[in-house]
Amino acid sequence: MQGLEELKLKLREFARERDWEKFHSPKNLSMALIVEAAELVEHFQWLTQAESLELPEEKIEDVREELADILIYLVRIADKLGVDLLEEAFKKIEKNARKYPAHLVRGRADKYTEYK
């Protein structure tokens, strides 16, 4: 299985080969990320929660591509800013575990400020 580090290096080389580094500022990449996220949301617009869990195969393929686009832009932004995504994700999980203790929030979707 390939990891984020390999993906980061492959994306860096992909951009260099095309002379796209000059376009890949954190600002531009974050804007592109939002566009891709909106494209993902379009696939679920107007669906019920149940329908969103049972997408037809042709729609699943489109969703896979949008997810890949989102990941690509996210990895590029992190690379440009020197952020270790996995390290930060694990830190965030720990932080969220403190903010949302399982014994207080189980089965609830309130904001953490509502549990205090």
If asked whether residues 8 and 51 sit together in one domain, one would say yes
pLDDT at 58 over 70: yes
Same domain, 1 and 55: yes
Asked whether the predicted pLDDT for residue 116 surpasses 70, the reply is no
Is residue 29 within 8 Å of 76, Cβ to Cβ?
yes
Host domain of residue 58: 1-83
Structure tokens of 32?
């592109």
Q: pLDDT tens across 43-52, in order?
A: 999 999 999 9
Q: How many domains does the chain have?
A: 2
Q: What does each C-alpha distance from 110 to 84, 92, 103 come to in angstroms?
A: 29, 18, 14
Per DSSP, the three-state class of 1 is coil
Say if residue 90 is in the same domain as residue 79.
Answer: no
Q: Where are the alpha helices (DSSP H) in the chain?
A: 4-17, 26-42, 49-53, 57-81, 85-99, 102-105
Q: Are residues 78 and 24 in the same domain?
A: yes
Read off the pLDDT of residues 79-89 as tens digits, 9 standing for 90 and up: 999 999 999 99
Looking at the chain, the whole-number percentage of residues with pLDDT higher than 70 is 98
pLDDT digits (tens, 9 = 90+) for 9-28: 999 999 999 999 999 999 99
Q: Say which CATH number the domain at 55 has.
A: 1.10.287.1080
Residues 56 and 10 in one domain: yes
